[in-house]
Structures are given as C-alpha cells and as structure tokens.
Amino acid sequence: MDQRHLVERARGGDHEAFSTLVRAAVVRLDAAARLILRDRDLAQDAIQEAMLRAWHDLPGLRDPDRFDAWLRRLTVHTCIDVARKRRRRMIEVELDPLDLPPVADATRAIAQRDLVDRALAVLEPEWRAVVVLHFYLGLPLHEVAAALGIPEGTAKSRLHRSLVILRESVGTSRGEALAALREGQTA
C-alpha cells in the first residue's frame, strides 16, 4: 500500500495505517530530535508529543502527499517547544551531553565527530534545527524554512552563521585538544 493511501486511511481514523506511517518515519525523526535537543529523554518526550499531535490533528491534513513534510514540521516545532520549556527550567536540570566521550580522553576528543558534537552544543536549538534539517535530513533551504515556519532568508542566514560558529568552535576545540596532547606529552 502506498503512503498516500495510508495517510488517507489514517486521516479517516485508521490507527493501523497511522502505526505503519509512524514506524516508517520515527527512526529518522527520533534521531533528528536527539540531534536538535541533545538529550535522549527530551527527544523521546518531543517525539511522543509530536506523534500524539499528529494523530490528533491528522484529519486537518488536506494533501496526503505533504504528510512527510507535515510530520517533519510538527516534530521540529515540538522539539523547539520542548527546548524552550527546558530553557525555562535550566536552573533545575542541566542539559545532558549526547553520549560524549570523557573530556580527558584527548585522543578521542580530536575526532571530528566529537568536535562537531561539542560545537553543535554551542548553538541554540532553533539554529541547530536548521543545521540538522539541512545536513542530516537533507532538506533544501526552502523546505527547512517551511519546516521551521521562518522565511527562507532567515533560514539561510541562520545556517551560514551556524556554520561560522561551528567552524570557530571546532577550530578552538581542535586547538585545545592539541594543546592537551602537547601537555600530556610533555608532562
């Protein structure tokens, strides 16, 4: 059964069809949510909230062919909502790192993955979402803008400035890591 048919059935209240759609989409959306929120529990909350909203609001989706974009938009918006709520509660609980290696492990710290991971942490969730949608989900900028509900120009500038920040952070971390290595070698 093609996706359009599944969406039409789900829109009419067929929960089995909805389950099939969710199972097909949730792996990437969950991963995107973790990248944006940098916290597995928060990501889980966001995905659950987004899927509940999706089921709840699905009858309002007019074009079944837009389901993927609609679900993506819903998920990203929910992530940002969750991040904003979290921001208000930052005093209570600090954000968790995303499976970061021990800082002292200088050898691993110079790995590109970890440098990028730490650099991503510098960005606000709204900006991180632009990076994730563009570079992880592979969306062109106009679709990134649509998913986030922002003008394309804003998405473009956020992406550019995010890359500048990432570059600076990666560069700084690389320098710190090299310095740590040197210190270790000379100690």
For residues 61 and 74, the answer to whether their CB atoms sit within 8 Å is: no
Smallest gap, in angstroms, from Cβ of residue 187 to another protein?
Answer: 28
Of residues 95, 103, 110, 116, which one binds another protein by CB under 8 A?
116
- Report the candidate in 20, 74, 24, 85 with the shortest Cα–Cα distance to residue 47: 74
| Separation CA 175–CA 178 (nearest Å) | 5
Does 161 bind another protein (CB under 8 A)? Our answer is: no
Count CA atoms within 13 Å of residue 62 on its CB side: 0
- Residue 155 within binding range of another protein, rule CB under 8 A: no
132 counts as binding another protein under rule CB under 8 A: yes
Residue 140 in the binding site for another protein (CB under 8 A)? no
Contact 126, 80 (CB under 8 A): yes
Binding mask 96-115 for another protein (x = CB under 8 A): --xx------------xx--
Whose CA is closest to 101, among 93, 110, 89, 109?
109
Separation of alpha carbons 118 and 123, rounded Å: 10
- Verify binding: residue 117, another protein, rule CB under 8 A: yes
Task: Give CA–CA dist 149/184, Å, rounded.
Answer: 48
**Residue from 139, 166, 173, 177 that binds another protein (CB under 8 A)?**
166
d(CA 85, CA 83): 5
Q: Which of 1, 60, 92, 187 is close enough to bind another protein by CB under 8 A?
A: 60
Name the residues that contact another protein, by CB under 8 A. Answer: 13, 15, 18-19, 22-23, 26-28, 30-32, 34-35, 44, 47-49, 51-53, 55-60, 62-63, 65-66, 78, 81, 84-85, 88-89, 98-99, 112-113, 116-117, 120, 126, 131-132, 135-136, 138, 145-146, 149-152, 154, 163, 166-167, 170-171
